[in-house]
């Protein structure tokens, strides 16, 4: 670089930073954070008091568990990200945001999405894909708002007055690009009606795309933007530069490169191809390096000033946040080792793991930033350091009381599932037994959540008091040298610099696409390569409807449909799951948590009447069960008006329903319902073929039977 600064053409510009938008995102984050935590507390309570269901179906476990995850990820953390980015980006680039109008469209658009989610999820409108549950019109809205955010951010970079882009800005860019790609690819779905769609991917492919998304949502929504914030706010709070800027660059590129490959570790021992699983494991283990690089870089920034940490609540929160980040990113790779995964997968261990990340890393980093930001934007001092310290201890204890019991229960239950007696029988053949033994852990966990929430309320009080005694500066005056006149009249550097954000955006995109492409493309080719199992047939119209009810109720939040090839699983559930069995599953319903037993081989296990009674009152059939009762499925009638559209849509997606079948589908629908009603009658149950439960029973009795049929024929021959 040869440009020499010449004081003649030094052009000092005065401008204002927009603090109001930062304030609004902050308030939204805190308000939705409390809501999200409260929903979490309800969900946690339902696991030991299943009758605790204040609004009936609208607060059913399966429906509001996704409400909790969405509220925390997209509302609490999402708004906190925007709050931090809008504050730091303006300062790092010495420019006001590109456009106030876009800022406000971004803000209100995002809140609209959250409100829509809060309405549709409890009503049962869901795609059932984790962290991507929102239905297609909301998906489109998310895309639009995300584009607005991107234009606003890159626009600011282009009109910036600081030639260098600090590493935090890189993290913001990578976040934006990657989330855009992930969201679009995972949201390909074929609409049936205004709030119902089917994923265009089926079975194994759907699972891979979903967990490529799910894993990277963790990476690029919960991690990279927060690392960016860490690289800005931690040096600010400690008033010293980051420990090693070189390390931060290596950290950045290595992290975004490696993360994108690790997704398949969510699908070990599943019907996913071996090589993809192996790749997921290798890259997951490699992830430790850049993750810890980031943690170490953060912690070493505080070297020699630990006395400051003891005094300063902001730094305290950030230190625990970084420590939790280190723990979670150590544990993640461990969990992706196949032998650890074999025990931990489907258990509470994973729930504990994500909460170390969520409560510790995201939560505490957010709190640290807020304690730093509010006094600054209101031009005053923090109302009470003592209260902040109380919050710190409540929060820390909350994390411990939350995570430790779940590690214990996850480990204990995982071992119980696979324990055999000396005679070669399962020691705990009754799944429920493994559940009831860990219920004390669920109670402790909820207590931890309560502590954490209480701490958050203490913070809100403290911050409101702080704001009250200060005065808010909506537009903060600033001045900086304009960047334009630096180039001796020739525009070369100017243009090159303008291009830099675009270049960086493109580079990040290329980096993440390499990983994405190598992983996804071959799997998309799998379709033609999945060994077709001749006996696997499309769902009947009634079963399809039942499946949609299963999706609506979020049964997938407690039940997997994936028998792994372990002896203890085949012993407990039956033949392990084959890739070819899922070819008509739009979307896949493998699940990620076994609070109840796997259901993939459920069909034919019990009579229809068993299901009827079990769904009505699980504890009557399985004393001590924590499965919620589904009374409303008995009061509500099926609605067949979308049946034609559903059949047609499935055929478009490649399910071999005969041409014109949708016209006669409804006959088949009622004929099968009649049969189930007749079955129930034999057992003395008066059911009505229009009840939703009838369709659900049809689906449950179908599960996993295609293979059994085949085996039976094999035996007969």
Residues 408-447 that bind other proteins (CB under 8 A): none
Please list the residues that pair with 196 across neighbouring strands: 193
Please select the residue that binds other proteins; options are 231, 392, 442, 582, rule is CB under 8 A.
Answer: 231
The CA distance from 128 to 588, in Å, is 9
Q: Out of ligand HEC, other proteins, none, which partner does residue 246 contact, by CB within 5 to 8 A per kind?
A: other proteins
Q: Which C-beta is closer to ligand HEC: that of 160 or that of 564? A: 564
* Residue 189, strand partner residues: 199
Which tokens sit at 264?
């398949």
Give the start-end residues of each E strand in 388-547.
475-481
Kindly tell me which of 449 and 628 has the beta carbon lying closer to ligand HEC: 628
Q: Which of 25, 86, 213, 261 binds other proteins (CB under 8 A)?
A: 261
Give the ranges where 47-98 is alpha helix by DSSP (H): 61-70, 78-93
For residue 162, what are the contacts with CB-CB under 8 A and spacing of at least 6? 92, 93, 94, 95, 480, 483
Nearer residue to other proteins within complex by CB, 59 or 248: 248
Q: Give the range of 149-157, 381-389, 473-481, 539-547 binding other proteins by CB under 8 A.
A: 473-481
Q: Are 322 and 299 in contact (CB under 8 A)?
A: yes
Residue 231 interaction partner, one of ligand HEC, other proteins, none, beta carbon < 5-8 Å per kind = other proteins
**296 sits near other proteins (criterion: CB under 8 A):** no
Interaction of residue 531 with other proteins, rule CB under 8 A: yes
Binders of other proteins in range 548-567 (CB under 8 A): 565
691 DSSP 8-state letter: B
- Examine residue 224 and tell whether it contacts other proteins (CB under 8 A): no
Asked if residue 587 has a cis previous peptide bond (ω within 30° of 0), the answer is yes
Shortest Å, Cβ 336 to ligand HEC = 25
Q: How far is the CB of 549 from ligand HEC (least distance, A)?
A: 7
d(CA 482, CA 480): 6
> Which of 568/605 has CB closer to ligand HEC?
605
Question: Per-residue x/- mask for other proteins, residues 141 to 180, rule CB under 8 A?
Answer: ---------------------xxx-xxx------------
When the beta carbons of 187 and 434 are compared against ligand HEC, the nearer one is: 434
Name residue, tokens 């946690």.
Answer: 44
- Nearest of 114, 130, 139 to residue 196 by alpha carbon: 139
**According to the binding rule CB under 8 A, does residue 240 interact with other proteins?**
yes
- Report, in this order, helix, strand and coil percent for the chain, each rounded to 5: 70, 5, 25
Contact (Cβ atoms closer than 8 angstroms) between residue 586 and residue 200 = yes
Least separation in angstroms between residue 4's CB and other proteins is: 5
CB of 48 to ligand HEC, least distance (A): 10
- Quick one: which of 131, 2, 142 has its CA closest to 69? 131
241 scored as a contact of other proteins (CB under 8 A)? yes
Of the two residues 292 and 606, which places its CB atom closer to ligand HEC in the complex? 606
Q: Which of 27, 158, 236, 690 binds other proteins (CB under 8 A)?
A: 236
Report what 435 binds from ligand HEC, other proteins, none; CB cut-off 5-8 Å by kind.
ligand HEC
**Whole-angstrom distance, CA of residue 291 vs CA of residue 294:** 5
Q: How far is the CB of 569 from ligand HEC (least distance, A)?
A: 13
| 514 sits near other proteins (criterion: CB under 8 A) | yes
Span interacting with other proteins, options 281-289, 380-388, 536-544, 648-656, rule CB under 8 A: 281-289
DSSP 8-state secondary structure symbol assigned to residue 626? -
Is 515 one of the binding residues for other proteins (CB under 8 A)? Answer: yes
* Binding partner of residue 559 among ligand HEC, other proteins, none, CB cut-off 5 to 8 Å per kind: ligand HEC
Interaction with other proteins in 483-512: which residues (CB under 8 A)?
Answer: 511
Among ligand HEC, other proteins, none, partner that 595 touches (CB below 5 to 8 angstroms by kind): ligand HEC
**Interface with other proteins includes 578 (CB under 8 A)?**
yes
Q: Which two tokens stand for residue 321?
A: 């946040």
- Helical residues (DSSP H) of 132-223, grouped into ranges: 136-158, 167-186, 203-217
Binding residues (CB under 6 A) for ligand HEC: these are: 61-62, 431-432, 435, 550, 553, 555, 557-559, 595-597, 599, 602, 605, 611, 618, 622, 625-628, 630, 696, 700
Q: Binding partner of residue 557 among other proteins, ligand HEC, none, CB under 5 to 8 Å per kind?
A: ligand HEC
**Residue 105 CB-half CA count within 13 A:** 18
Q: Burial letters for 665-700: b for 16+ Cβ neighbours within 10 Å, e otherwise?
A: beeebbebbeebbebbeeeeeebebebbbbbbbbbb
- Residue 267 touching other proteins (CB under 8 A): no
Whole-number Å distance between alpha carbons of 179 and 171? 12
| Helix axes of 61-70 and 541-553: crossing angle, nearest 10 degrees | 50
What's the 3-state SS for 256-286? Answer: HHHHCCCHHHHHCCCCCCHHHHHHHHHHHHH
Task: In angstroms, give the least distance from the CB of 448 to ligand HEC.
Answer: 19
**Which residues neighbour 216 within 8 Å (Cβ) at sequence distance 6 or greater?**
178, 182, 259, 260, 263
Dist. CA 612–CA 686, nearest whole Å: 11
Q: What is the DSSP string of 188-207?
A: -EEEEETTEEEESS-HHHHH
Residue 511: contacted member of other proteins, ligand HEC, none (CB under 5 to 8 Å, by partner type): other proteins
Answer for the pair 284, 336: CB distance below 8 angstroms, yes or no: yes
Task: CB nearer to other proteins: give 236 or 675.
Answer: 236
Tokens encoding 399: 């994390």
Give 279 or 549: the residue with its C-beta nearer to other proteins: 279
Q: Which CB sits closer to ligand HEC, 626 or 676?
A: 626
Is 5:486 a contact under the CB 8 Å cutoff? Answer: yes
Considering only 105-113, 267-275, 452-460, 623-631, which stretch makes contact with other proteins by CB under 8 A?
267-275
Of 3 and 421, which CB lies nearer to other proteins in the complex structure? 3
Nearest distance, CB of residue 542 and ligand HEC, angstroms? 15
Q: Say whether residue 478 binds other proteins (CB under 8 A).
A: yes
Identify what 146 binds: other proteins, ligand HEC, none; CB under 5 to 8 Å per kind: none
Contact call for residues 512 and 178 (beta carbons, < 8 A): yes
Closest CA to 33 of 71, 67, 64: 71
Decide: is 707 part of the binding site for other proteins (CB under 8 A): no
CB nearer to ligand HEC: give 151 or 443.
Answer: 443
Residue among 704, 655, 697, 692 at smallest CA distance from 676: 697
Q: Which residue, 94 or 601, is less far from ligand HEC as judged by CB?
A: 601
| By CB under 8 A, residue 117 contacts other proteins | no
User: What's the min distance (Å) between Cβ of 320 and other proteins?
Assistant: 21
Q: Is 214 exposed, middle or buried (0-12, 13-18, 19+ CB in 10 A)?
A: buried
C-beta of 432 vs 513, nearer to ligand HEC: 432
Q: Give the footprint of other proteins on this chain (CB under 8 A).
A: 1-5, 12, 17, 88, 91-92, 162-164, 166-168, 204, 231-232, 235-236, 239-242, 245-246, 249-250, 253-254, 257-258, 261, 271-275, 277-279, 282-283, 286, 476-481, 511, 514-515, 518, 522, 525-526, 528-531, 565, 576, 578-579
């Amino acid at each position: 670089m040869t440009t020499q600064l010449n004081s003649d053409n030094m052009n000092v510009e005065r401008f204002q930073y927009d603090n109001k938008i930062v304030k609004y995102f902050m308030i939204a984050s805190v308000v939705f954070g409390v809501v999200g935590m409260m929903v979490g507390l309800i969900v946690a309570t339902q696991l030991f008091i299943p009758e605790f269901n204040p609004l009936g179906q609208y607060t059913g476990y399966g429906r509001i568990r996704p409400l909790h995850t969405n509220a925390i990820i997209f509302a609490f953390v999402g708004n906190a990200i925007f709050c931090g980015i809008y504050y730091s980006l303006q300062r790092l680039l010495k420019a006001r945001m590109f456009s106030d109008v876009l800022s406000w469209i971004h803000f209100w658009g995002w809140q609209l999405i959250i409100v829509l989610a809060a309405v549709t999820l409890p009503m049962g409108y869901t795609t059932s894909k984790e962290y991507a549950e929102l239905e297609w019109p909301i998906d489109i809205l998310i895309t639009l708002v995300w584009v607005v955010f991107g234009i606003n951010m890159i626009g600011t970079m282009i009109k910036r007055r600081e030639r260098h882009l600090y590493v935090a800005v890189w993290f913001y860019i990578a976040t934006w690009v990657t989330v855009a790609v992930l969201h679009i690819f995972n949201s390909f779905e074929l609409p049936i009606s205004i709030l119902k769609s089917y994923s265009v991917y089926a079975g194994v492919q759907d699972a891979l795309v979903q967990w490529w998304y799910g894993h990277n949502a963790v990476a690029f929504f919960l991690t990279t933007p927060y690392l960016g914030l860490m690289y800005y706010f931690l040096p600010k709070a400690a008033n010293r530069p980051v420990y090693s800027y070189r390390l931060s660059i290596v950290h950045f590129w290595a992290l975004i490169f490696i993360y994108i490959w690790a997704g398949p570790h969510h699908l070990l021992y599943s019907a996913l191809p071996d090589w993809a699983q192996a790749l997921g494991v290798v890259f997951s283990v490699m992830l430790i390096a850049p993750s810890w690089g980031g943690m170490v870089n953060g912690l070493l920034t505080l070297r020699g000033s630990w006395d400051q940490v003891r005094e300063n609540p902001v730094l305290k929160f950030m230190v625990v946040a970084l420590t939790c980040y280190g723990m979670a990113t150590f544990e993640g790779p461990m969990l992706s080792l196949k032998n650890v995964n074999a025990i931990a997968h489907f258990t509470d261990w994973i729930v504990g793991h994500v909460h170390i990340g969520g409560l510790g890393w995201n939560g505490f980093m957010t709190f640290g930033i807020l304690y730093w930001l509010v006094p600054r934007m209101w031009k005053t001092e923090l109302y009470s350091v003592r209260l902040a310290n109380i919050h710190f201890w409540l929060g820390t204890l909350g994390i411990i009381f939350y995570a430790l019991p779940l590690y214990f229960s996850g480990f204990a239950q995982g071992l119980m599932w696979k324990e055999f007696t000396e005679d070669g029988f399962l020691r705990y053949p009754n799944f429920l037994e493994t559940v009831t033994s860990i219920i004390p852990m669920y109670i402790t966990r909820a207590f931890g959540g309560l502590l954490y929430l209480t701490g958050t309320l203490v913070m809100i009080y403290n911050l409101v008091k702080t704001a009250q005694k200060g005065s808010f500066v909506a537009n903060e005056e600033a001045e900086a040298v304009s960047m334009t006149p630096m180039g001796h009249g020739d525009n070369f550097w100017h243009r090159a610099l303008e291009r830099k954000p675009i270049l960086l955006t493109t580079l990040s995109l290329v980096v993440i696409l390499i990983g994405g492409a190598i992983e996804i493309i071959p799997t998309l080719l799998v379709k033609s390569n999945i060994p077709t199992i001749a006996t696997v047939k499309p769902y009947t119209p009634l079963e399809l409807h039942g499946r949609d009810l299963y999706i609506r109720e979020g049964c997938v939040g407690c039940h997997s449909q994936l028998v792994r090839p372990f002896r203890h699983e085949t012993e407990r559930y039956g033949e392990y799951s084959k890739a070819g069995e899922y070819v008509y599953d739009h979307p896949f319903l493998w699940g990620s948590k076994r609070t109840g037993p796997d259901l993939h081989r459920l069909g034919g296990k019990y009579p229809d009447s068993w299901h009827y009674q079990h769904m009505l009152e699980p504890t009557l059939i399985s004393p001590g069960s924590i499965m919620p009762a589904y009374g409303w499925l008995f009061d509500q009638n099926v609605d067949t008006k979308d049946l034609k559209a559903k059949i047609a849509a499935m055929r478009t997606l490649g399910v071999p329903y005969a041409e014109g079948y949708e016209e006669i589908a409804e006959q088949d629908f009622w004929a099968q319902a009649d049969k189930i009603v007749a079955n129930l009658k034999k057992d003395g149950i008066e059911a009505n073929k229009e009840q939703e439960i009838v369709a659900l029973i049809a689906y449950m009795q179908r599960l996993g039977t295609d293979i059994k049929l085949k085996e039976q024929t094999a035996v007969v021959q």
